Amino acid sequence: MPTLKFAVLPGDYIGPEVMSEALRVLDHVAKKENLELSYQQADVGGAGIDHHGKALPDSTLALCREADAILFGSVGGPKWEKLPPKEQPERAALLPLRKAFNLFANIRPGLLYPDLTDASPLKSARIPDGIDIVCIRELTGGIYFGQPKTTVTLDNGEEQAIDTMVYKTSEIERIAEVAAVTARARGKKVCSVDKANVLETSVLWRRVVTAYFAKNHPDIALTHMYVDNAAMQLARDPNQFDVLFTENMFGDILSDEMAVICGSLGMLSSASLGTGKNSLGLPFGLFEPAGGTAPDIAGKGVANPCAQILSAAMMLRYSFGLAAVADRIEAAVRAAVATDGVRTGDIAFGRPAVGTRAMSDAIIARL
Ligand code: IPM
Ligand code: MG
């Protein structure tokens, strides 16, 4: 019986609530598909700070190193906002985890079911068939990690802060490959987003991406767009894109824009894949919902578990090679939410809203 060994890091606020629903779905699927689940939970983020004195405890990191994938919840919230920026859950847990496992490729599907177009701030007439795009974001380079990164006091007494944007050819090529492979399984269209009219890193990015696709993926339609224009085009006509592909900070910003035009954050999953292979020879990855910890609704049993459940499906797809099982989970979510209209409050729009548990029950019933 194939064993799926993964670390479960629920995190803070709604993190643990939606995580337990994703685990129920996985348990159900495992029984049906004859898979053995082997997972252990560990503290991360604020929970790490509260119980171990740091956002990414050594024991949590050790557990992740033993695993073939990480199923991540969400971290951060008001309780830890007064800590120095470098110690806060987001910066002290998520960024070091990405770095520790070289999780250079962030894949965020921007999917809005046609029946859910109400959830989007865009007019339904603009997106009659919903939205179906993917954002591929470089995740371990650029201005997030470049050195120097510091604040100094100048001779005249004023402060000066420095962040450094750095990219090298190999970093650009490996993420270009992920974009190409993603596009190949979809509409074979990649739009690479940069700021090549201003930034050196973007000039290199555009040159390397162009050459890489010409040499390795000549059949994929590659276009380039400046990031300011891409932000505008995404709001104007999101489906002009198939795969949006960009560097770290641009991807951070554009993926949030993509998330909001796709309606509820409660529906969006993501995968961060590394250079490393797991014990199955597949990409080691971290899988997390895009929506954050939602402190305002934590503890009320109303959070939408779909994004966490869909993140678990991505884990099966990428780190365990179980695409068919992932398809089934995704279809069950779609059937519950879109076809049968079982909705949590964030996507209810006047329908009676169900709670977190009832939502996952509805998904399990359709598996
Ligand atoms: C994201 C988040 C993180 C990022 C934060 C929490 C550090 O916004 O995953 O998009 O900026 O990458
Ligand atoms: Mg972000």
Catalytic residue flag (residue 219): no
Average pLDDT over residues 305-315: 98
User: Residue 153: which pLDDT band, with cuts at 50, 70 and 90?
Assistant: very high
pLDDT over threshold 90, residue 183:
yes
Instruction: Give the CATH number for residue 65.
Output: 3.40.718.10
Confirm whether 299 is domain-assigned.
yes
> Do 226 and 194 touch, CB atoms closer than 8 A?
yes
Confirm whether 29 is domain-assigned.
yes
Supply 169's token pair: 């050819």
Confirm whether 331 is domain-assigned.
yes
- Statement to judge: residues 75 and 143 lie in one domain: no
Cα distances (angstroms) measured from residue 176 to each of 87, 143, 306: 32, 18, 29
Comparing CA positions, the residue from 184, 151, 148 lying closest to residue 164 is 148
Q: What is the pLDDT of residues 7-57, one digit of tens each?
A: 999 999 999 999 999 999 999 999 999 999 999 999 999 999 999 999 999
Average pLDDT over residues 297-312: 97
- Statement to judge: residues 271 and 336 lie in one domain: yes
Confirm whether 114 is domain-assigned.
no
- Statement to judge: residues 217 and 295 lie in one domain: no
Average pLDDT over residues 293-313: 97
pLDDT over threshold 90, residue 265:
no
- Statement to judge: residues 229 and 257 lie in one domain: yes
Confirm whether 45 is domain-assigned.
yes
- Statement to judge: residues 255 and 125 lie in one domain: yes
Our answer on whether the CB atom of 75 is closer than 6 Å to any ligand 1 atom is no
* Among candidate residues 261, 276, 292, the one where a domain is terminated: 261
* Among candidate residues 239, 261, 283, the one where a domain is terminated: 261
- Statement to judge: residues 315 and 350 lie in one domain: yes
What pLDDT score was predicted for residue 1? Answer: 75
pLDDT over threshold 90, residue 114:
yes
pLDDT over threshold 90, residue 349:
no
Question: CA-CA distance, 294 to 229, in Å (whole number)?
Answer: 30
pLDDT over threshold 80, residue 78:
yes
Catalytic residue flag (residue 12): no
Give the number of the ligand closest to the Cα of residue 137.
1
What pLDDT score was predicted for residue 46? Answer: 97
User: How many domains does the structure of the chain reveal?
Assistant: 2
- Statement to judge: residues 159 and 98 lie in one domain: no
Mean of per-residue pLDDT scores for the chain: 96
- Statement to judge: residues 26 and 125 lie in one domain: no
Confirm whether 115 is domain-assigned.
no
Our answer on whether the CB atom of 90 is closer than 6 Å to any ligand 1 atom is yes
Average pLDDT over residues 299-308: 97
pTM of the predicted protein model: 0.95
Catalytic residue flag (residue 296): no
- Statement to judge: residues 183 and 254 lie in one domain: yes
User: Residue 2: which pLDDT band, with cuts at 50, 70 and 90?
Assistant: confident
Confirm whether 110 is domain-assigned.
no
Q: What is the pLDDT of residues 200-259, one digit of tens each?
A: 999 999 999 999 999 999 999 999 999 999 999 999 999 999 999 999 999 999 999 999
Percent of the chain beyond pLDDT 90? 95
- Statement to judge: residues 171 and 296 lie in one domain: no
Question: CA-CA distance, 71 to 69, in Å (whole number)?
Answer: 7
What per-residue string of b and e applies to 313-350 under the rule 16 or more CB within 10 Å gives b? Answer: bbbbbbbbebeebbebbbebbbbbbbeeebbbbbbbee
Average pLDDT over residues 299-321: 97
User: Residue 144: which pLDDT band, with cuts at 50, 70 and 90?
Assistant: very high
Span from the CA of 215 to the centroid of ligand 2 (angstroms): 32
Q: Which atom of ligand 1 is nearest to the CA of 75?
A: 6
Average pLDDT over residues 191-199: 98
What pLDDT score was predicted for residue 182? Answer: 97
Comparing CA positions, the residue from 62, 110, 147, 122 lying closest to residue 251 is 110
Span from the CA of 252 to the centroid of ligand 1 (angstroms): 6
* Among candidate residues 200, 229, 261, the one where a domain is terminated: 261
Question: CA-CA distance, 130 to 116, in Å (whole number)?
Answer: 7
- Statement to judge: residues 328 and 224 lie in one domain: no
Span from the CA of 293 to the centroid of ligand 1 (angstroms): 12
- Statement to judge: residues 13 and 91 lie in one domain: yes
Confirm whether 112 is domain-assigned.
no
- For 137, the domain range is 121-261
Pocket test of ligand 1: the residue of 90, 257, 269 to mutate, having most ligand atoms within 8 Å of its CB, is 90
